[in-house]
Amino acid sequence: MRSTQARNCSMQLTPNHPLKNLNTFGIDCTAKWFAAFHNTDELMELLDNPEVQNQPQLVLGGGSNILFTQPFNGVVLKNSLLGIEVVGETDDHYLVKAAAGENWHQFVMHCIKNQFAGVENLALIPGCVGASPMQNIGAYGVEIKDVFHELDAVHIREKKIKTFDVTECSFGYRESVFKQREKNQWIITSVTFRLNKNPRLKTGYGAIEEELDRMNLDQITIKDVAKAVIQIRSSKLPDPAVLGNAGSFFKNPVVPIETYEKIKSHYPGAPSYPISETAVKVPAGWLIEQAGWKGLKRITHGVHDKQALVLVNLGNARGAEILQLSSDIIDDIQHKFDITLEREVNIY
């Protein structure tokens, strides 16, 4: 861990800053104080500010995995760090470093354009690069841990920079050390990915193979895989710019085999994915749909009619209303299937 030197800057905090355009749910709320940082010097100066130190802090990237249920009574720090560069190379891999404020999908498209393989299955996931290891984001058989090399992060209290390797990140299913033991202690500033020179395509998960077949290709490239993923996601998931949402609201639960077998006795076609000899993962969207929630509307908010995992803001919804809907769904799934759903979205 290396210390950083004192800075002489003049970062200004903005009071009562609107957050509606900074969260993909489009919840209309404010931050008591707000500032954006564009480099590490600005971040360090903000962390030196007593106004920042003495209040709750929230680091905001793309705002795609958050639900505001009330005004944020503290300081929102907007991560606006940008930049992508190749920082290393071996016979088989490129090490590609991206600043934490980079848009995730645009980063994936940059990798595809430059033939850096490994993240094509993760196209069109909303959010920023810095959030990707926090959540260990994943889709269609690929997770961040599969392509992760290291990340740099600033300790909020000590104002020091540390480099985390894959072991130190303690990746799990939509989990990392930054959501558990080290929660709210670090601000990720950059992530370095280990990407393949020779693509190892993963097309056997979900509907990718079927979509690629429809494309009638002679030879499949990483660009084709990304295109298939984009088409699949676009057909099922609403664009946050059109319909406020935070993507998948719930994690897919991992349950004992006995629980799954009980469900299967009532629903013979119940899907599952093996995790171990004693546990399976059951799609949360399938459970919610079977319970009758898919497409439900409550005037200002509801459940998306094409993907039951997605809760949506139908217009001027309050965050507390969406939170209550999620609680109602959790209670119902618990009652009907004896499974406790866990929210993937962060609640504030």
- Residue among 175, 182, 289, 344 flagged as catalytic: 344
pLDDT of residue 210: 87
Known catalytic residue: 248?
yes
* Within-domain flag for 232: no
pLDDT of residue 320: 97
Q: Do 97 and 165 reside in the same domain of the chain?
A: yes
Last residue of a domain, one of 34, 59, 79: 79
192: domain CATH number? 3.30.465.10
Q: Do 19 and 101 reside in the same domain of the chain?
A: no
- Cα dist from 209 to 205, 273, 300, whole Å: 8, 18, 37
pLDDT of residue 1: 37
- Residue among 176, 190, 248, 272 flagged as catalytic: 248
pLDDT of residue 145: 96
Q: Do 23 and 74 reside in the same domain of the chain?
A: yes
Domain count, the chain: 3
pLDDT of residue 4: 33
pLDDT of residue 12: 84
pLDDT of residue 301: 97
CA distance 115 to 196: 8
Question: Model's pTM, two decimal places?
Answer: 0.86
- Residue among 174, 194, 233, 343 flagged as catalytic: 174
Last residue of a domain, one of 156, 179, 196: 196
pLDDT of residue 161: 96
* Within-domain flag for 304: yes
pLDDT of residue 8: 41
335: domain CATH number? 3.90.78.10
Q: Do 75 and 99 reside in the same domain of the chain?
A: no
pLDDT of residue 11: 74
Please state, as a whole number, how many other Cβ atoms lie within 10 Å of the Cβ of residue 327.
11
* Within-domain flag for 233: no
Q: Do 28 and 124 reside in the same domain of the chain?
A: no
Last residue of a domain, one of 24, 53, 79: 79
Closest among 32, 58, 36 to 156, alpha carbons compared:
58
Please state, as a whole number, how many other Cβ atoms lie within 10 Å of the Cβ of residue 170.
17
* Within-domain flag for 227: no
Q: CA 145, 203, 257, 276 torsion: positive or negative?
A: negative
Q: Do 73 and 153 reside in the same domain of the chain?
A: no
Mean pLDDT by 10 residues, the chain (348 residues): 39 93 96 96 95 92 94 96 96 97 97 97 94 92 96 95 96 90 93 96 85 87 95 90 93 94 93 91 96 96 96 96 98 97 94
pLDDT of residue 207: 86
Q: Do 93 and 184 reside in the same domain of the chain?
A: yes
* Within-domain flag for 96: yes
Q: Do 191 and 99 reside in the same domain of the chain?
A: yes
- The boundaries of the domain holding residue 51 are 2-79
Q: Do 101 and 180 reside in the same domain of the chain?
A: yes
Closest among 69, 7, 75 to 36, alpha carbons compared:
75
Q: Do 57 and 96 reside in the same domain of the chain?
A: no
Q: Do 91 and 75 reside in the same domain of the chain?
A: no
Pairing of strands 84-89, 301-303: unpaired
Whole-angstrom Cα Rg for the chain:
21
CA distance 56 to 72: 9
Known catalytic residue: 174?
yes
